[in-house]
Amino acid sequence: MTSSLVLASASPFRRALLTNAGLVFEARAARVDERALERPLEQSGASPVDVALALAEAKGKDVARHFESALVIGSDQTMSLGARVYHKPRDMAEAAEHLLSLSGKTHSLNSAVVLVRDDEIVWRHVSTAHMTVRPLNRAFIERHLQKVGEKALASVGAYQLEGEGIQLFERIEGDYFTILGLPMLPLLSKLRELGAIDA
């Protein structure tokens, strides 16, 4: 083991993924204004993949300033349908609008992960999952949102795949870790290659 590991995230899901994989790491939330970073990127025509990578890099670099020589894992995810990039719904009405706009269509979850040491990006990767929502009518969406409640506001797509959100889908292409927001298999492979975890 040649380096300590730090996760640049406050996400309990990402922490659990690393813990469940047996990794020993420290976690610290990045202090990054995501909307301020996204706005100019989106205005300049950056793709949803580019936006996810830029956010992951910004988070990794922010935390790396506090951990000299450590290997810092930065990650972020964007959700897109064509050129539209989604953000967490502000209220239940916006959650309903999100789900209605996804009805009968295939959207993408773009999960970026980077490794940063000091101020250098050591490695970057993006995995994409394609999620096909079955045709939904407004009445069903309203019943569904009443049932799941405020949890709908906690995710960009207004759904939790690991819960009742699974009922919204017709087809899913991509691995579970990408959907949760941290592509574990490529990350673990790179960490082994770098000697950061037992190979």
The token pair at 164 is: 């009742």
Chain centroid to CA 116: 17
Helices (H), the chain: 12-20, 34-43, 48-64, 92-102, 138-148, 176-180, 184-193
Catalytic residue among 76, 91, 118, 198: 76
Helical (H) or strand (E) element with 77? strand 71-81
C-alpha 123/C-alpha 175 separation (Å) is 20
Which conformational region is residue 38 in: left (phi greater than 0), alpha (psi within -120 to 50 degrees), or beta? alpha
118 is catalytic: no
Please give the positions annotated as active site: 76
